[in-house]
Amino acid sequence: MGSPHGTFDFVVAANRLPVDRVVDDDGVARWQTSPGGLVSAMDSVMAGRTAAWVGWAGDPGEDIEPFDREGTRLHPIALTADEIRDYYEGFSNTTLWPLYHDVIVPPLYRRRWWAAYRAINQRFAEAVAEVAADGATVWVHDYQLQLVPTMLRDLRPDVRIGWFNHIPFPPVELFAQLPWRQSVLRGLLGADFLGFQRTTDAGNFARACHQLLGATRSGDVVSWDGSDDELQGAAPRRVRVSAVPISIDFAGLDELARTPAVRERAREIRSSLGDPETLLLGVDRLDYTKGIRHRLRAYSELLADGDLVPPQVTLVQIATPSRERVSAYRELRSQVDGQVGRINGDHSGIGAAAVHYLHHAYPREEMAALFLAADVLLVTPLRDGMNLVAKEYVASRWDGGGALVLSEFTGAAQELTTAFQCNPHDIVGLKQTILRAMHEDPADRRKRMLAMRRRVRKHDVFGWARRYLSALEAAPDRPGGGGRPRDRGEGSGLG
């Protein structure tokens, strides 16, 4: 080992740092903590440890020196404009994102993007190796960094490595399209523990390892002897693989939604929309996985059928700008713009808009007020790892009001079983589900909401982080770990 080890005994590696660089009115740049549950969850597990976070600062550009913020060392990874294009917009968001979301749009396979992905993953692995203390725990996040576990293990066999996939892991029949499929699996198998949103995702990963690498699975341990056709000489691996579904800061959101300012704002929102009998709401990143077009299609048919009539009913659709340099996202935007224009042209009146379409990001308080104001939240993804918006809506409804229409293709559908579940591809079924959510007996709707609130309160983001880390601690082949001995049940193939 060349250079001396670092001093941080807990290291997070994620594509982005937990801060954004903002420039004040007076032209001075400063760092602002990014909003969101992941950052709060990580704060909660970092407290009391010497912790570092390795990630990209968000702009193309020069090296930024590591700096300390709220007790955590932030270690920026610099990316040039070409690297952002090839590693981030290209391989991460034009190859992996669509491939892992059921090929809703066709993934593109470009050798130049793959080369950049490998190089940037290596850069992350080296940065982690530099800051991690002897025997440190390293938590790697998401699909942008799938090669980091093995690259890091090669540099630092002493550290304990976990990886969590925020998005689905596809069935092997789709994953097998990837020209570099074995390298990706091998990259992940460098971890001690791989966490997924759903049991199905963990199963898909294990099946891919079986079919493409000849690995075996026993319980939640995948074993690979390191031999396969293309990659010679790898060390054998035993890796724990299971589902640890992510959640949100229930108490924080519940508290925010109860504040007088948020409640007042919720009333104001309804009154500025003409106090509709039913306010429908959609809140999504503008992403083709979220089923926004299917939702708008169902809504426009309900208007055309005369089942819904503005201004008694209106839809607010927040579509947060996302990945605007990627062509599939630009195309989606123009399709959604067109659809909204047609719906409003056909069905709005003066002071009675059928759709209020807002292509902006909003502060957390405004989101909570929108959740509290909405009678029905429409969450209709074609595929979604979890969908935090659904859980955030539930946490905001301290009043037991509201109704959630939820696609069965989200991770959240496995937990929020009393939601009005739907198949967004089935437009007739989706229309009926929206009407059912609007018209069900209020006492029954309330029961559904209270059951979902109990679930999310009990399984919040802090519990998720604790569960994840204890699974990582108990990973196989580690002193004190809970792994099974090698001779028990191994080699049984995939159940």
**What is the pattern of x (binds ligand GDG, CB under 6 A) and - over residues 469-488?**
--------------------
Residue 36's nearest CA partner among 197, 243, 253 is 253
What lies within 8 Å, CB to CB, of 446 at 6+ separation is 400, 401
Q: How far apart are CA 76 and CA 54, in angstroms?
A: 6
Q: How far apart are CA 438 and CA 169, in angstroms?
A: 34
Task: Answer yes or no whether residue 386 interacts with ligand GDG by CB under 6 A.
Answer: yes
- Shortest gap between Cβ of 246 and ligand GDG (angstroms)? 4
Binding region for ligand GDG (CB under 6 A) out of 3-11, 300-308, 386-394, 439-447: 386-394
How far from chain centre, in Å, is Cα 459?
17
Task: Answer yes or no whether residue 392 interacts with ligand GDG by CB under 6 A.
Answer: yes
Task: Answer yes or no whether residue 358 interacts with ligand GDG by CB under 6 A.
Answer: no
- Shortest gap between Cβ of 102 and ligand GDG (angstroms)? 13
Residues numbered 158-217 forming contacts with ligand GDG, rule: CB under 6 A: 166-167
Binding region for ligand GDG (CB under 6 A) out of 120-128, 348-356, 358-366, 482-490: 358-366
Residue 114 burial by Cβ neighbours in a 10 Å radius (0-12, 13-18, 19+): buried
| CA dist list (Å): 50 to 11, 43, 95, 133 | 9, 12, 36, 9
**Sign of the dihedral through C-alpha 257, 262, 263, 267:** negative
Member of 385, 402, 424, 476 binding ligand GDG (CB under 6 A): 385
Q: Give the nearer residue to ligand GDG in terms of CB position, either 73 or 166.
A: 166
Residues numbered 33-72 forming contacts with ligand GDG, rule: CB under 6 A: 35-36
- Shortest gap between Cβ of 144 and ligand GDG (angstroms)? 12
Q: How far apart are CA 483 and CA 495, in angstroms?
A: 19
Q: Give the nearer residue to ligand GDG in terms of CB position, either 137 or 165.
A: 165
Bridge partners of 485, per DSSP, are: none
Helix then strand then coil, in percent of the chain rounded to 5, is: 45, 20, 35
Task: Answer yes or no whether residue 377 interacts with ligand GDG by CB under 6 A.
Answer: no
Please identify which residue in the block is written with the tokens 């759903």.
Answer: 198
**What is the pattern of x (binds ligand GDG, CB under 6 A) and - over residues 223-252?**
-----------------------x------
**Sign of the dihedral through C-alpha 51, 14, 191, 115:** negative
**What is the pattern of x (binds ligand GDG, CB under 6 A) and - over residues 312-351?**
--------x-------------------------------
Member of 258, 364, 478, 486 binding ligand GDG (CB under 6 A): 364
**What is the pattern of x (binds ligand GDG, CB under 6 A) and - over residues 81-110?**
------------------------------
Residue 209 burial by Cβ neighbours in a 10 Å radius (0-12, 13-18, 19+): buried
Which residues contact ligand GDG (rule: CB under 6 A)? Answer: 35-36, 166-167, 246, 285, 320, 361-364, 367, 384-389, 392
